Amino acid sequence: MKQIDVKQKVLNRHQEVAQQLCRRFDSAAVLAINIMGSPGCGKTALLEIAASRLADSCRTVVLEGDLQTDNDAQRVCAAGLRAYQINTDSACHLDALMVERSLKLNKINLDDLDLLVIENVGNLVCPAGFDLGEHCRIVMSSLPEGFDKPAKYPRMFYKADCVLLNKIDLLGVLDFDKDAFWRFVEQVAPKAARFEISCKTGTGTDAWLDWLRQRKRSPSETRD
């Protein structure tokens, strides 16, 4: 019986489009970042709190991935950034074809951009397996999720260029072993930049934006 590797073929097509996207980003000198994390870890809240500084410093477009609703695109737009929703319906992650389609559909001219922020579907597993052509992978975790997430979901963390630990303002309220969290990150993603932030109080978000600005200077060098 002849075996047909359907999964491999589909993945190859995604990989091909991801590479095309990356070349387009490079050619237009756009830094593309892919923000991933569990539902409710604070991905959208980060964009809301960073919106005014981003809007002042660079031409930014946000693509918001969710199964349903355009809540997140609305929130980010209300904060002052240009944002578009991608509804995946039942799909548990964004893929390069969805990003390509959204850029076309929304007439996003990369030459008019400096930064493309892609907020992935809230999911600590599946988005890790899909390259969107991005230069940076930002993985966000948050205190209420517990300190062992990098150990339990290593595939999400091990390719991270940056790990954000959000809701740090809850440190006195929740029982969270911060040192153990970072030890797990060290084991899985030793090269990742690390920031403790609060999207509620703003703690640490400026430091993260400074780090992002550094990446902006040489996007093509940031990609493995």
- The footprint of its own copies (CB under 8 A) covers 4, 6, 38-40, 66-69, 71, 90, 92, 121-126, 129, 142, 144-146, 148-149, 151-155, 167, 170, 173
Rounded least distance, CB 169 to its own copies, Å: 10
Distance, CA of 51 to CA of 12 (rounded, Å)? 35
Contact, 141 vs 149, CB < 8 A?
yes
User: Torsion over CA of 211, 113, 15 and 159, rounded to 10 degrees?
Assistant: 10
Q: Toward its own copies, which CB reaches closer, 80 or 144?
A: 144
Q: Toward its own copies, which CB reaches closer, 20 or 69?
A: 69
Tokens of 7: 């999964």
Q: Toward its own copies, which CB reaches closer, 37 or 219?
A: 37
**DSSP string covering 17-59:** HHHHHHHHHHHTT-EEEEEEESTTSSHHHHHHHHHHHHHHHS-
Rounded least distance, CB 158 to its own copies, Å: 11
Rounded least distance, CB 188 to its own copies, Å: 10
DSSP state of 172: T
Q: Toward its own copies, which CB reaches closer, 25 or 176?
A: 176
Q: Toward its own copies, which CB reaches closer, 60 or 142?
A: 142
42: left (phi over 0), alpha (psi -120 to 50) or beta: left
Q: Toward its own copies, which CB reaches closer, 60 or 123?
A: 123
Q: Toward its own copies, which CB reaches closer, 173 or 207?
A: 173
Where helices occur in the chain by DSSP H, the ranges are: 6-27, 43-57, 71-78, 96-105, 149-152, 154-157, 178-188, 205-217, 219-222
Distance, CA of 65 to CA of 193 (rounded, Å)? 24
Rounded least distance, CB 50 to its own copies, Å: 18
Q: Which residues, 6 or more positions from 111, have their beta carbon under 8 angstroms from its beta carbon?
A: 28
Rounded least distance, CB 63 to its own copies, Å: 16
Rounded least distance, CB 6 to its own copies, Å: 5
Rounded least distance, CB 89 to its own copies, Å: 9
